[in-house]
Amino acid sequence: MAGPNQLYPQFRPSKQPLYKSLSPEEDQVGKLLRHRGYTSLAHVERAVTPALNDWQRQPKLATGVLTRLRKAKKALTAWQVLQVMQGGRVETNVIHYSSVA
């Protein structure tokens, strides 16, 4: 008789850890997505600041963050992220604004 790992290979125990190291963008977006209710600009600034250096080098990374916030119906938070980006001297362009609108 075949064991469960042979019948259902997708359920085979993984050798990888149960968690993965999150990039700064993923971690910051997670904080903003989990926050319920009104999100202050100060909260957004604290959450996003660690990722600003990466976004300065690759502004495209911020587009994914803004899109995820919009899809989660957190448009105000996405606009606040844009404000923090401008204050942090991160390039903002039409693609960033389009991903929020």
pLDDT at site 1: 52
Q: What is the DSSP letter of 52?
A: H
The label of the residue with tokens 């606040």 reads: 80
Predicted confidence at residue 16, as pLDDT, reads 43
54 or 9, higher pLDDT: 54
Reported as a single tens digit per residue, the pLDDT across 58-73 is: 888 889 889 988 988 8
Side-chain-side CA neighbours of 55 within 13 Å: the count stands at: 28
Among residues of the chain, what percentage have pLDDT more than 70?
71
Length of the chain: 101
